[in-house]
């Protein structure tokens, strides 16, 4: 096995990652500030919905190392990795656990956010579909789950720092440039433009569904008999 330069992360995956970083950090900030920023919070959250939908599809039709099946962490793989016997490129089995946990937790975060309300003047776009009590419950989840997200993000960045400092592996560069050292037969393949367009269409459709724009305005209540007091 001669090490050479290979294509590891395809361009859509890299764009996905750094857009996710920007929108998630944005959503955390605007969510914490509140007030008029909640409108932006909702928009950033919707962008995260689209990114997650894209990633889900790309996990099946993307190039080699972007596919969920390529890095799905089985107990066997994790044990081998911990014994130092893992030989692959791409997400290592332990890192893969964190990838799935991050994607899963972000999904819970957006799902609850879409139904949430801030009790002041902002409602998630799917709020009209449910009643206030359920929305309050979703809001509680949203505020709870974000703490797990903080932990996982801290771990994510710490793990990358650990690889850089202790193991002398630069994981960030491949996530920016796409290139990595590796045996030529591990070169990423597949995930061409047509598949990218398909994934993009799915992402846009899911974002549209989440935006609630399709929900018809509620039939106006019968007006109160006197409106002038």
48 near ligand HEM, judged by CB under 6 A: yes
Structural contact between residues 7 and 178, judged by C-beta atoms closer than 8 angstroms: yes
Q: Tell the smallest beta-carbon distance from residue 38 to other proteins (Å).
A: 7
Q: Which residues contact 119 (CB under 8 A, 6 or more apart)?
A: 139
The three-state secondary structure class of 192 is coil
Q: Tell the smallest beta-carbon distance from residue 45 to other proteins (Å).
A: 17
Nearer to ligand HEM by Cβ, of 128 and 221: the residue is 128
Q: Which window, 26-34, 184-192, 196-204, 216-224, contacts ligand HEM (CB under 6 A)?
A: 26-34
Tell me, by CB under 6 A, how many residues bind ligand HEM.
43
Distance of alpha carbon 47 from alpha carbon 207, whole angstroms: 7
Structural contact between residues 58 and 13, judged by C-beta atoms closer than 8 angstroms: yes
Per-residue binder mask for ligand HEC (CB under 6 A), 105-124, x = binder: --------------xx----
Q: Tell the smallest beta-carbon distance from residue 44 to other proteins (Å).
A: 17
Q: Exposed (0-12), middle (13-18) or buried (19+): which is 50, by Cβ within 10 Å?
A: buried
Pick one of 57, 116, 203, 206: the residue that binds ligand HEM (CB under 6 A).
116
24 binds, among ligand HEC, other proteins, ligand HEM, none (CB under 5 to 8 A by kind): ligand HEM
Nearer to ligand HEM by Cβ, of 92 and 226: the residue is 92
Distance of alpha carbon 197 from alpha carbon 98, whole angstroms: 27
Pick one of 88, 122, 178, 211: the residue that binds other proteins (CB under 8 A).
122
Q: Tell the smallest beta-carbon distance from residue 166 to ligand HEM (Å).
A: 15
Query: What single string gives the DSSP state of each residue in 99-152?
Result: HHHHHHHHHHHHHHHHH-B-SSS-B-TTGGGS-HHHHHHHHHHHHHHHHHHHHH
């Amino acid at each position: 096995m001669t090490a050479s330069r290979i294509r590891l992360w395809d361009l859509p995956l890299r764009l996905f990652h750094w857009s996710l970083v920007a929108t998630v950090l944005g959503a955390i900030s605007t969510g914490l500030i509140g007030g008029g920023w909640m409108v932006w919070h909702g928009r950033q959250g919707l962008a995260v919905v689209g990114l997650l939908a894209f990633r889900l599809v790309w996990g099946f039709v993307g190039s080699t190392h972007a596919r969920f099946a390529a890095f799905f962490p089985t107990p066997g793989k994790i044990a081998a990795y911990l014994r130092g016997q893992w030989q692959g490129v791409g997400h290592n089995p332990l890192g893969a656990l964190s990838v799935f946990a991050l994607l899963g937790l972000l999904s819970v975060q957006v799902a609850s956010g879409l139904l949430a309300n801030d009790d002041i003047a902002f409602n998630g776009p799917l709020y009209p579909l449910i009643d206030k009590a359920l929305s309050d419950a979703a809001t509680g989840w949203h505020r709870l789950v974000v703490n797990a997200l903080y932990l996982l993000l801290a771990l994510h960045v710490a793990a990358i720092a650990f690889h850089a400092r202790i193991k002398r592996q630069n994981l960030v560069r491949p996530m920016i440039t796409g290139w990595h050292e590796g045996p030529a037969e591990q070169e990423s393949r597949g995930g061409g433009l047509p598949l990218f367009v398909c994934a993009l269409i799915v992402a846009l459709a899911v974002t549209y569904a989440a935006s609630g724009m399709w929900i018809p305005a509620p039939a106006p209540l019968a007006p109160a008999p006197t409106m002038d007091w």
